């Protein structure tokens, strides 16, 4: 259902408020550069710091600006099932293509609890679901067995896997079928994930280098592994630099270096990228050819 380079969009702020004009420009630039779909209000979008009104304004702005040119996968996850349902229902009526639903964080549900959570979402709203597994942030890990059970739910159409366990691509394919849409959640593992059967990546780096990431996705889709490896090597330092400090501080700094209309402002508890992180970002941007010395 989804494929290619899919940025987990940052949410621009200016003077403490959502910067809608900058976000519209970011969405337009992404589409122009070949992005395959858009994800507003994910972790990289600082969704935990957004009020409900802001959350929905970001979703609305993304959908209205994209205007049907690419799919919009709205971040709707919560560790409260009722809140996730509320977000999904809003995103559906706003015109989102699907909902990105992260594993419930902090609560640490059992695998049966995970199944019950996602079944409750599917029963309450028929918006397609992309299941997001990122145990490094949530602590709760959606096992491969559970993911394959979730894939039996008709509205569960894809997974974004950021477990770091590449064996899961094969395990998911074996248990959920070759047509189950598997997206990488780790930029630095995008290449091996694609080799094993993945069809794209929900990416942080694509915020900053959308054309290079789109070209990389196209090389993978055409099984041009030599070309994909060359682009992977070109982007690798940037993948690492995006996490040289708490995300999305480095990504927002990088965007401010690429576009003079973008502010690097973040919200607490995230703080601006450190000096060391900024140096790493600058060097990686130059190495990738995104900016000139």
Q: Report d(CA 55, CA 75) in Å as an integer.
A: 9
SS3 291: coil
Give the integer Cα–Cα distance in Å for 71 and 66. Answer: 8
Query: Treating both helix axes as pointing N-terminal to C-terminal, what angle do 225-241 and 275-288 enclose, rounded to 10 degrees?
Result: 160
Active site residue 24: no
Q: Which of 105, 132, 149, 252 is catalytic?
A: 132
What would the two tokens of residue 128 be? 């397609």
231: which residues sit within 8 A by CB, 6+ positions away? Answer: 212, 215, 216, 219
Is the C-alpha dihedral spanning 58, 61, 65, 66 positive or negative? Answer: positive
Q: Is 160 a catalytic residue?
A: yes
Residue 283: how many other CB atoms lie within 10 Å: 14
- Catalytic residue chosen out of the listed positions 56, 160, 252, 253: 160
What ranges in 74-195 are assigned the alpha helix state H?
81-94, 111-124, 135-138, 144-150, 167-176, 190-195
Nearest CA among 10, 38, 8, 60 for reference residue 265: 10
User: Which burial class, exposed, middle or buried, applies to 111 when counting CB atoms under 10 A from its CB (0-12, 13-18, 19+)?
Assistant: middle
* Alpha carbons 92 and 286: distance in angstroms, whole number: 40
Please list, in sequence order, all residues whose beta carbon lies within 8 angstroms of the beta carbon of residue 123, skipping any fewer than 6 positions away: none
CB 210 within 8 A of CB 33: yes
- Catalytic residue set: 132, 160
């Amino acid at each position: 259902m989804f494929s290619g380079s899919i940025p987990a969009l940052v949410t621009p702020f200016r003077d403490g408020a959502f910067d809608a004009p900058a976000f519209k420009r970011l969405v337009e630039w992404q589409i122009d550069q070949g992005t395959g779909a858009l994800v507003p209000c994910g972790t990289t979008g600082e969704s935990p710091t957004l009020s409900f009104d802001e959350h929905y304004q970001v979703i609305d702005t993304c959908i209205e600006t994209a205007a049907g040119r690419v799919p919009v996968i709205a971040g709707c996850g919560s560790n409260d099932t009722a809140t996730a349902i509320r977000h999904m229902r809003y995103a559906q009526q706003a015109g989102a293509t699907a909902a990105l639903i992260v594993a419930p964080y902090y609560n640490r549900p059992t695998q049966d609890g995970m199944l019950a959570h996602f079944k409750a979402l599917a029963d309450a709203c028929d918006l397609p679901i992309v299941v997001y597994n990122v145990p490094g942030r949530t602590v709760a890990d959606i096992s491969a067995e559970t993911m394959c059970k979730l894939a039996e739910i008709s509205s569960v159409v894809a997974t974004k896997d950021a477990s770091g366990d590449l064996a899961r691509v094969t395990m998911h394919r074996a248990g959920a079928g070759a047509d189950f849409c598997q997206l990488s959640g780790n930029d630095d593992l995008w290449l091996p994930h694609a080799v094993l059967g993945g069809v794209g990546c929900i990416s942080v780096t694509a915020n900053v280098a959308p054309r290079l990431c789109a070209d990389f996705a196209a090389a993978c889709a055409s099984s041009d592994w030599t070309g994909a490896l060359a682009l992977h090597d070109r982007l690798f330092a940037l993948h690492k630099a995006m996490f040289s400090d708490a995300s999305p501080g480095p990504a927002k700094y990088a965007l401010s270096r690429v576009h003079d209309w973008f502010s690097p402002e973040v919200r607490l508890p995230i703080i601006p990228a450190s000096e060391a992180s900024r140096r790493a970002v600058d060097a990686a941007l130059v190495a990738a050819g995104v900016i000139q010395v």
